[in-house]
Homo-oligomer: A and B are copies of this chain.
Amino acid sequence: MPFRWSPREHLSLGAYLIKWLCIVTPTSIAIGSSCALFLWLLDRATNLRFQNPWLLFLLPPAGAAISLLYSRIGNGAEGGNNLLMDAIHGSENGDSGIVVPRRMAPLILVATIISHLFGGSVGREGTAVQMGGSIAAAIGRWFRLNLGDFRILLMAGIAAGFGAVFGTPLTGAVFAMEVLAVGRMNYDALIPCLAAAIIGDQACLAWGLHHSRYSVAAVAPEIVGPLTLKVILAAIAFGLASVLFAELIHGISHIFKRTVSRPWLRPVLGGLLVIALTYLLGTRDYLGLGVSSPDPQAVTIISCFSANGATPWSWWWKLLFTVITLGSGFKGGEVTPLFFIGAALGNALALLMNAPVELFAALGFVAVFAGASNTPLACTLMGIELFGASCSLYFAIACFLSYLCSGHSGIYLSQRIGTPKP
């Protein structure tokens, strides 16, 4: 009989599905809830800083406190996102030696909130991803998963954290699979990652959290014509900005480590630099998360979506504040600052090239991140999830080209090279 159908194969697929739903559901509820707590605390910390501008002067000692916290009780948690990736790659090769400590979750939560409270220019994704990975690792040990399943659960933890913190579950699922290696994606964690991202996002929303909404007026998809050429040029600029960001953050971190031998002194100096830059520029727009501001004239991610919502160099200042803050040892993510840098650069380029500001801000928002993290498909999906499908081709052009132009630079040093870029 040439008709092949194996009921046993389908029973085993059903068992696989049920098993992973059972593992992933509690894990993702815990991760999504942690993300809700994080976003709530972040909101409180940001508002507290808006109301008490003097808190900025405590940024240097806050940095020292974070450094001491990690050196005293870090137990390896300092490795952050890279440690997670190393653990995932290690598990793939049968090496169970890389331990993701349970304390990574509370440590990164506290350290990120401290960074934000005192005005450090950091983001959210690193925190969410590390909380996700650390909680997933703890639950994986509790379930006594074998190494292969443990690896998949770590990936699902990343997906849940990413999906929950930005409210973009599909992006979170694809990001967790795409970020591990440049230019190659494996599908063995497809279903656990999707389930984790959806459940994590729902758990976060169930706590009453709301994500920032951005709106982009639908642009007629006139793919033939000068607009596409402008998108291509902007995409190349986004890719180069991502190289600048990734290389500067590694370079500054390297310089701090080589020139300042005491780890706690590095963020003190970084904090002082941030204060000096703030007073030199006469603006506090580049401190903290940058999504919103009590000052209606301020440059924020949201203001970048309107004409005159950013200066021609806003992208560069946000980039500089962020690489100094993160490079000197503060904690938090890179992604929200990358959204800011991209949206501000898109705003400036739109003005320069007489292109639609909203569209170009949205393109920069996702494309600089695509280049810096080498995740072009996840970022195209993020553009679609945040801004709608009407401009999906432009998102793809921007993210794919930025990915190409970022070369082998990237913010994640533990990312492997799956397929080299040309």
- Report A's interface with B, CB cutoff 8 A: 1-6, 9-10, 12-13, 16-17, 169-170, 173-174, 182-188, 190-191, 194, 198, 201-202, 206, 223-224, 240, 243, 247-248, 250-251, 254-255, 376-377, 380-381, 384-385, 388-389, 392-393, 396-397, 400-401, 403-405, 407-409, 418-419, 421-422
Contact = CB atoms under 8 A, between A and B. Distances in A.
Chain A at the B interface: SS class: helix
B389 A194 contact: no
Contacts of A407: 6, 9-10, 13
Given A3-B248, A191-B400, A206-B224, 8 more contacts: A2-B251, A12-B422, A13-B422, A16-B422, A187-B376, A190-B403, A190-B404, A202-B223
Contacts of A224: 202, 206
B170 A393 contact: yes
A219 B201 CA distance: 18
Nearest to A418: B186
A188 B403 CA distance: 12
Nearest to A397: B194
Contacts of A186: 183-184, 418-419
B184 A396 contact: no
Contacts of A405: 10, 13
Contacts of A3: 247-248, 250-251
A10 B170 CA distance: 31
Contact of A198 (B9, B13, B393, B409): B393
Contacts of A13: 404-405, 407, 421-422
Contacts of A397: 194, 198
A14 B397 CA distance: 15
Nearest to A387: B389
Contact of A250 (B2, B254, B380): B2
Contacts of A223: 198, 201-202
A4 B409 contact: yes
Contact of A404 (B191, B380, B388): B191
